[in-house]
Amino acid sequence: MYTKEELEIVKYIEEQNPKSIDNLEEEKLKLQIAAKNTISKRKAINLKVLESDIRKYKSKAIQEGMGYQTLINSVLHKYITGQLVEKKLVS
């Protein structure tokens, strides 16, 4: 089974008669450099966090089957990208 993106590629190839690239190696190198420059790099930071919060993170991380630093990173990433939504309590 193909993904949506794969089906789009197949459709393009079948309907658009794609042309070969004259300088394939040069184009591949440009795309590799662009991809490398867009991939996020990790940077170590130091945070002062309450010990009680660290214990909670460690407990939750065990429940989730991951390391607590991975969990913290995930929460931070979800927050900054707008994927972390606050639950509204119904009264």
Residues of the chain with pLDDT > 70, as a percent, come to: 98
> How many other C-beta atoms are found inside a 10 Å radius of the C-beta of residue 71?
17
The pTM of this model reads: 0.52
Contact 69, 75 (CB under 8 A): no
Domain boundaries, the chain: 51-80
pLDDT for residue 56 is more than 90? yes
For position 84, what pLDDT does the model report?
87
DSSP annotation of 58 reads H
Query: Which amino acid is residue 69, in one-letter code?
Result: Q
Contact 37, 28 (CB under 8 A): no
For position 37, what pLDDT does the model report?
76
pLDDT band at 62 (very low <50, low <70, confident <90, very high): very high
Dist CA 10 CA 3 (whole Å): 11
